[in-house]
């Protein structure tokens, strides 16, 4: 009987939010895309000086609105796709005070992202693909945990609601 009790307590601990908090960070649970979960920086020490300078502009500008992990780990590779992506971000910043992306900054960002994509995503495709597979798996797990936590929160809210909804009707006389 003691063994069965131990199993129940262990199962309860594993399913608790405290256990989930240990397994996943809040940033991981809040991720919108699998690539948000990857590294948020690139070692550019072997990149040409111009690309190192572009990287600094990329970091300063893009981190204003989202994590750097998003573009660094995204599947986007081609210059034309990066141009479209950065233009879309440029439009988003036009409506945000103090976060406007200037044309020269956009060019530097596109140049860096296109160069970096060729180095990390094309030349080292196998490593990038392996990391992508890992991030997709982690994202799937965090989404399941996020759903479980939301259901638990909804259940708590439902249990905290009074039975009398104010309509005057009572379930029992």
Q: Which residue has the higher pLDDT, 12 or 77?
A: 77
What is the model's pLDDT at position 97? Answer: 57
User: In the numeric block, which tokens belong to residue 79?
Assistant: 């210059």
Tokens of 15: 């399913």
Distance CA 37, CA 138 (A): 8
Predicted confidence at residue 169, as pLDDT, reads: 55
What single DSSP character describes residue 101? Answer: P
* Res. 170: pLDDT tops 80: no
What residue ranges do the domains of the chain occupy?
48-138
CA distance linking residue 122 with residue 75, whole number of Å = 10
Q: Tell me if 48 sits within 8 A of 82, measured CB to CB.
A: no
Residues whose CB falls within 8 Å of the CB of residue 23, separated by 6 or more in sequence, listed in order: 145
R_g of the chain, CA atoms, integer Å:
23
Q: What pLDDT, on a 0 to 100 scale, did the predictor assign at position 95?
A: 58
Phi, psi of 112 (to 5 degrees): -65, -50
- The whole-angstrom separation of Cα 6 and Cα 2 is 6
Q: Per residue in 122-154, pLDDT tens?
A: 999 999 999 999 999 999 999 999 999 999 999
pTM: 0.73
Is 173 in a helix, a strand, or coil?
coil
Detail the DSSP E strand segments found in 15-171.
Answer: none
> What pLDDT, in 10s, does the model give residues 17-27?
444 446 899 88
CA 105 to chain centre: 24
């Amino acid at each position: 009987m003691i063994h069965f009790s131990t199993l129940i307590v262990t199962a309860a601990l594993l399913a608790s939010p405290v256990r989930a908090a240990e397994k996943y960070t809040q940033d991981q649970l809040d991720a919108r895309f699998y690539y948000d979960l990857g590294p948020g920086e690139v070692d550019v020490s072997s990149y040409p000086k111009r690309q190192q300078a572009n990287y600094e502009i990329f970091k300063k500008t893009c981190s204003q609105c989202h994590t750097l992990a998003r573009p660094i780990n995204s599947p986007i590779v081609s210059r034309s796709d990066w141009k479209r992506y950065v233009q879309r971000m440029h439009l988003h910043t036009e409506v945000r005070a103090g976060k406007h992306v200037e044309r020269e900054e956009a060019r530097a960002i596109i140049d860096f992202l296109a160069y970096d994509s060729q180095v990390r995503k094309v030349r080292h495709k196998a490593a990038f693909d392996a990391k992508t597979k890992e991030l997709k798996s982690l994202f799937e797990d965090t989404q399941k945990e996020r759903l479980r936590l939301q259901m638990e929160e909804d259940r708590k809210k439902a249990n905290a609601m009074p039975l009398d909804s104010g309509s005057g009707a009572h379930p029992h006389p």
